[in-house]
Structure 1
Amino acid sequence: MAQVIVVGGGLAGLSAAHTLLERGANVLMLDKQPFMGGNSTKATSGINGAGTQTQQELHIPDNAKLFFDDTKRSARELARDDLIRVLTGRSGDAVNWLQDKFGLDLSKVARLGGHSQPRTHRGNAQFPGMVITYAQMERLEDLAVAQPDRVTIKKKARVTKLVRDGEAVVGVEYTHNGKTETAYGPVILATGGYAADFTQNSLLKKYRPEYYDLPTTNGEHCTGDGHKLALAIGANAVDLEKVQVHPTGLVDPNEPEAKVKFLAAEALRGVGGLLLDNEGKRFVDELQHRDYVTGKMWENGKYPIRLVLNGQASKEIEWHCKHYVGRGLMKRYENGEQLAKDMGLKPEQLKKTFDDYNEVVRAKKDPFGKKFFSPGEWRMNDYFNVAIMTPVLHYTMGGLEIDHESRVLSHSSKPIPGLFAAGEVAGGVHGANRLGGSSLLGCVVFGRVSGDSAASYLLQRIGPLAEKAAGRLGAVSGHLGGESSSSGAAAPEEKKADAKSSGGAKAFTAEEVAKHKSKDDIWVIIDNQVLDVTSFLPDHPGGEKAILLYAGRDATEEFNMLHDPKVIPRYAPDSVIGSLKK
């Protein structure tokens, strides 16, 4: 069977898979994680796009040329015009594709640091990375059930070797269920970065040892697997020393030294949030490039540094604030006096900062160089949402060298036949520094480019099968454009859960649930269902802490903020042990 192998189940791999299906190719997706999604689900600010339908409706005068210039300015001396041109030139189409193909709400547009126009798209609720990734993930899983001859997904499948025939990559070796297996076909690497590579052969330690001890926002799976697989067969890598340290990692007051931090969305500063040091003073243009803001935090050195949102900014990004407060990572203050007291300041000190900033906004002249301001006054009688910040390892700009068709290049700068890369594993796309909102964009754009290129490569080599594949295209595209499993045939897991919930489920009181709150015995309540999530805990894509926070309690509100109702029957049907006794 003619297939393309996609290694990695994050947004880049998913975008590649959907594009391959649209082009008539079959897909084998291999993901070492128990659940697909990767770091893509954690993206909190949105996805960039220039000249989108949404921008046109909002009368935002943006275009690919302006976006190109902003990106090249951010990339600085490492700018690759050919890759930036693909990223920015196809950005509008990528956002429109997500809205049209998957029915996503991307109706809100914000301006992040380093952007000359508002172009970072998100919806009215939930983290955009999770919404975008889950929409593609669920659609692909539905296809794997409805058309198993077209789509195969294997989770907990770790690729250990690229198989070659001469110079060409013709497949992979991987381990799955304790066995080593081989699959054949062109390969798209979409394995993410190495900003959590604390392994023995760590790329992070090799290229940026001074960053090795910093906390990270990345899941533990981000260990540079794709880089190492390709480097082992002679692929070239670029800019591996370019590791982005994001300025705003959220410090959990209960675990200030935790190695993995949750990221504070850059959109929090985009809507008007201010960074204040321990004296209650501003020290930087909050909308500058990430590396610049990080550098100023280190230079200023007056910790703790807080991100402060007034009432207007909080309302603009209300869902995020509510989520962070719910996780104990952000605190709400009913007025400036409460905030000043918690900071160990006199109210007059904080009031002066607010008054000075109001004057800056009126005069449009900031001593720190800020050019874009959110409307509204900063007043002591307002309410505030506040979090403590710390710089965190976030994104690796370096990676495998690719060309504008997502083909991985060798040391001789020639494409390695049959090998493609997309997403964070691909280097050179963002140069020396990545703009906020371009991570999800890079995944979608180069996921689609790699899918196009791999499909073309495959069809060129299967000759007579090309006509048959093209004949399938109409049917596949129609299926891709349809509804997800909520209106189609239920996946096996969903049927299993339905059967389980309909037959004599046990009822538990809230007091009984509250007794199960330890790491080795943890129950939660969601929508009046009682779940034993003990065995699910280490596999949870959001990490153990997200569940432990609600051990023995009702997690309905937090769960529903983040997840679709289909998540439990689809991914954890066996965790439902009964209902909540009224």
Structure 2
Amino acid sequence: MAQVIVVGGGLAGLSAAHTLLERGANVLLLDKQPFMGGNSTKATSGINGAGTQTQQELGIPDTAKTFFEDTKRSARDLARDDLIRVLTGRSGDAVNWLQDKFALDLSKVARLGGHTHPRTHRGNAQFPGMVITYAQMERLEDLAVETPDRVTIKKKARVTKLVKDASGAVVGAEYVHNGKTETAYGPVILATGGYAADFTEDSLLKKYRPEYYELPTTNGDHCTGDGQKLALAIGASAIDLEKVQVHPTGLVDPNEPNAKVKFLAAEALRGVGGLLLDNEGQRFVDELQHRDYVTGKMWENGKYPIRLILNGQASNEIEWHCKHYVGRGLMKRFESGEALAKEMGIPASVLKKTFDDYNVVARTKKDPFGKKFFSTGEWKMNDFFNVAIMTPVLHYTMGGLEIDAESRVVGKDGKPIPGLFASGEVAGGVHGANRLGGSSLLGCVVFGRVSGDSAAAYLLKTIGPLAGSAAGRLGAVAGHLGAESSSKASSSTTPAKTESTPDKAGAKTFSKDEVAKHNKKDDCWVIVDGQVLDVTNFLPDHPGGEKAILLYAGRDATEEFNMLHDPKVIPRYAADSVIGTLKK
């Protein structure tokens, strides 16, 4: 079978897979996780795009050239111009593709730190990373059911080796699945993510940035540099492995302040006007500066705890995020400035002066910290506030495998390794010393599509006579990938399951008091939309981490669940967890 092997089921791998299908190639996707999605589902601010349909409708005069300049400046001139041109030049088309092909709402645009124009797109609800990734993930899973000869997905499949032929070309991958070692053949796209949770014995993080090794991280424990290590083992070249981004705003859980894994505070919280105040109630930085700069100022200031504070207007602008963080116990709402000052342990007059001074700065555009962009509206003590404690966290690894502008992995001889491609965080050289907020999802989509294009072209070139038949299949697949087809599939396609949720749900009923008894890690039940789920065995596999579920152990999690998930998530991914219904 003429196939391309995609290693990694995050947004980069999914974008590559969909592009391969559009180009007529078959896809084998291997993901070592029990669920696809990766860190892409955690992205909270949005996806960048210059010259998009949304920007044009909103009258935002952005261009790929301006985006290029902003990215180059953020990268400290250490990224490669050819890769930045690909990222920024194809950004508008990437956002339009997501809207057109997957019927996604990306109608809101924000300005994040380091951007001269609003260009970070998101919808009206839910985390954009989750929405974008799930749309592609569910569609690919539907295609695996509808056209199994075209799409094969294997989860819990850990790739251990890249297979080369006598000429040095990559011709397959060896992987472990269900306890057995298997080999698949075809060109390979690596989309395994970064190494900002690489605390393994051969840790790239410890080798290249040992001073960061003890910091908390926002990354899932799967981000251990697998793709980088696989490719380096066969002679690939790496670039910028020492360039690791520490994000300034990791959310500190008051109940677990020393937790190694932190939830990220969306950069959009500062983009809509949030302020960073130290323990004396003072500003100390331009909140919209580059991430590395803000992190450096937090360390330099050293007056902890540092709080991110949103007033009523900013809270309303990004209401869904605030509600989610408050629900998780990571953010707290205060009904007045006086209440907030009391919590901070400072006189209300000090906080009022900070607000008054900032109002003057916003009007005059003369900020001692150099801030240039301000949200409208004034800061007043008789307002409500959403507040969270912040800490710097390991977030993104700019370094990775060296690629060219066609996403081909480059060998130590400076030439592309035939049959090997890379996209997303596994590849280096795109962001230089510092990545702009909103360019993570963008890099996944843009280079996912570029790698898909390049791998499909390579496949058609190498299979010779089969090229015609492979290309001839494009029309059949295209019908599955249009926005109308995608929308119908998302709402009506029934996943292949041995049991249906309704059958199981009708088996037994439970009272709230009965559910409440099962409130521990080794015995965890939750209620969702009137269904009772025993999620004890599901906890280790939950893409958002077990803590997200344990917050609702023995309780009704309906509101939080519906904020984040589509109703079909349970029958698709956790049907076996449903044990009954709630007594009425």
Q: Give the TM-score of the pair, scaled to structure 2.
A: 0.99
Query: Which SS does the other structure have where 1:496 is aligned?
Result: coil
Q: Who is 1:447 aligned against? A: 448
Q: In the aligned structure 1, how far is the partner of 2:359 from the partner of 2:206?
A: 44
1:497 aligned onto 2:500: yes
Picking from 469, 486, 507, the partner of 2:509 is 507
Amino acid in the other structure paired with 1:73: R
Q: In the aligned structure 1, how far is the partner of 2:432 from the partner of 2:557?
A: 41
Tell me the distance in 1 between the aligned counterparts of 2:493 and 2:272: 41
In 1, distance between residues paired with 2:469 and 2:477?
Answer: 13
3-state secondary structure, aligned to 1:577: strand
- The reply to whether residue 120 of structure 1 matches residue 120 of structure 2 is yes
Note if contact 1:60-1:118 (Cα within 8 Å) is conserved in structure 2.
yes
The residue identity in structure 1 corresponding to 2:420 is L
Q: Within 2, Cα distance between the matches of 1:575 and 1:75?
A: 46
- Report the equivalent of 2:350: 349
- Residues 194-251 of structure 1 deviation map (CA, whole Å, 9 limit, x = unaligned): 0000000000000000000000000000000000000000000000000000000000
Residue matched to 2:111: 111
Q: What corresponds to 1:77 in structure 2?
A: 77
Is 1:209 the counterpart of 2:213 in the alignment?
no
* Structure 1 residue runs without a partner (length 5+): none
Rounded Cα–Cα distance in structure 2 between residues aligned with 1:290 and 1:526:
37
Contact 2:194 2:223 (C-alpha < 8 Å) held by counterparts? yes
One-letter identity of the residue aligned with 1:72? K
Question: Is the contact made by 1:139 and 1:484 (CA closer than 8 Å) also made in structure 2?
Answer: no
Q: Aligned-pair distance for 1:52?
A: 0.1
Measured in 2, the distance between the counterparts of 1:30 and 1:568 equals 22
Displacement after TM superposition at 1:488 (Å): 4.3
Q: For the residues of structure 1 that align with 2:286 and 2:91, how far apart are their CA atoms?
A: 27
- Equivalences for 1:57-456 in 2 at 5 Å? 57-166=57-166, 167-456=168-457
450-459 or 467-476: bigger deviation: 467-476
> Superposed, which structure 2 residues align to 1:448-527 within 5 Å?
448-481=449-482, 482=485, 483-493=487-497, 496-498=499-501, 500-501=503-504, 504-527=506-529
Secondary structure of residue in 1 paired with 2:435: coil
Aligned partner letter, 1:28: L
* Cα separation, 2, equivalents of 1:89 and 1:251: 37
CA contact (8 A) 2:139 2:490 kept: no
SS at match of 1:78: coil
Moved >4 Å (runs of 4+) = none
- Of 568, 571, 574 in structure 2, the residue corresponding to residue 572 of structure 1 is 574
CA deviations on 1:341-376 (whole Å, 9 max, x unpaired) are: 000010000000000000001111100000000000
Matched residue type, 2:537: S
Question: 1:528 — aligned with what?
Answer: 530
The SS at the match of 1:417 is strand
Residues 385-438 of structure 1 show CA distances to partners (whole Å, capped at 9, x for unaligned) of: 000000000000000000000000011110000000000000001011000000
CA contact (8 A) 1:197 1:223 kept: yes
Q: Tell me the residue number matched to 1:562.
A: 564
1:14 is aligned with what amino acid? L
C-alpha displacement at 1:279, in angstroms?
0.2
Give 1:500 deviation, angstroms. 2.2
Given that 1:138 and 1:484 are in contact with CA atoms closer than 8 Å, whether structure 2 keeps it comes out as no
**Residue deviations 1:96-120 (CA, integer Å, cap 9, x gap):** 0000000000000000000000000
Distance 1:353 1:577 in 2: 53
Are the aligned partners of 2:189 and 2:420 in contact in 1 as well (CA < 8 Å)?
yes
- State the SS of the aligned residue for 1:312: helix
Residues 534 and 372 of structure 1: CA distance in aligned 2, closer, same or farther (over 3 Å): same
User: Is contact 2:4-2:186 (8 Å) kept?
Assistant: yes
Instruction: Check the 8 A contact 1:242/1:396 in 2, yes or no.
Output: yes
Q: Is the 8 A contact 1:142 1:484 kept in 2?
A: no
Identity score, percent: 85
SS in 2 for 1:244: strand
2:4–2:188 Cα contact (<8 Å) kept:
yes
Q: How many residues align?
A: 580
Deviations 1:278-330 (A, max 9, x none): 00000000000000000000000000000000000000000000000000000
TM-score, with length taken from structure 1: 0.99
1:108-149 deviations in Å (ceiling 9; x for gaps): 000000000000000000000000000000000000000000
1:485–1:491 contact (8 Å) kept in structure 2? no
Write the distance in 2 (CA, Å) between the matches of 1:484 and 1:372.
Answer: 41
Deviation string, structure 1 residues 454-494 (Cα, Å, up to 9, x no partner)? 0000000111111111111111011112135444441112x
Query: RMSD value over aligned CA atoms?
Result: 0.8
Do the aligned partners of 2:218 and 2:394 also contact (CA within 8 Å) in 1? yes
Residue 182 of structure 1, CA deviation:
0.2
CA contact (8 A) 1:513 1:523 kept: yes
Separation in 2, partners of 1:240, 1:487: 42
Q: Quick one: distance in 2 between partners of 1:253 and 1:440?
A: 29
Q: Which amino acid counterpart does residue 561 of structure 2 have in structure 1? A: F
SS in 1 for 2:174: strand
CA contact (8 A) 1:6 1:189 kept: yes
Give CA deviations for 1:533-571 in whole Å, capped at 9, x if unaligned.
001011000001000000000000000000000100000
> Could you tell me how far apart the structure 1 residues matched to 2:554 and 2:17 are?
39
Residue identity in the other structure for 2:173: V
Amino acid at match of 2:243: K
Gaps of 5+ in 2: none
Report the Cα offset of residue 505 of structure 1.
1.9
- Separation in structure 1 between the aligned mates of residue 503 and residue 175 of structure 2, nearest angstrom: 34
Aligned partner of 1:519: which letter?
Answer: K
Q: Distance in 2 between matches of 1:302 and 1:48?
A: 33
Paired AA for residue 92 in structure 1: G
Paired with 2:491 and 2:537, the residues of 1 have a C-alpha distance of 30
Partner of 1:6: 6
- Alignment CA distance shift 1:486-1:67 (3 Å): closer
Distance 1:263 1:484 in 2: 33
How far apart are the structure 1 equivalents of 2:241 and 2:268? 27
Q: Is the 8 A contact 2:138 2:490 kept in 1?
A: no
Distance 2:519 2:234 in 1: 48
Q: CA deviation digits over 1:136-185, x for unaligned, max 9?
A: 00000000000000000000000000000021000000000000000000
2:470 and 2:492 map into 1 onto residues whose CA distance is: 24
Code of the residue aligned with 2:59 in structure 1: it is H
Deviations along 1:61-109, whole A, 9 cap, x unmatched? 0010000000001111312100000000000000000000000000000
* Aligned residue identity for 1:404: A
Q: Secondary structure at the match of 2:65?
A: helix
Q: Secondary structure at the match of 2:473?
A: helix
Q: Contact 2:5/2:30 (CA < 8 Å) preserved in 1?
A: yes
The amino acid of 1:497's aligned partner reads S
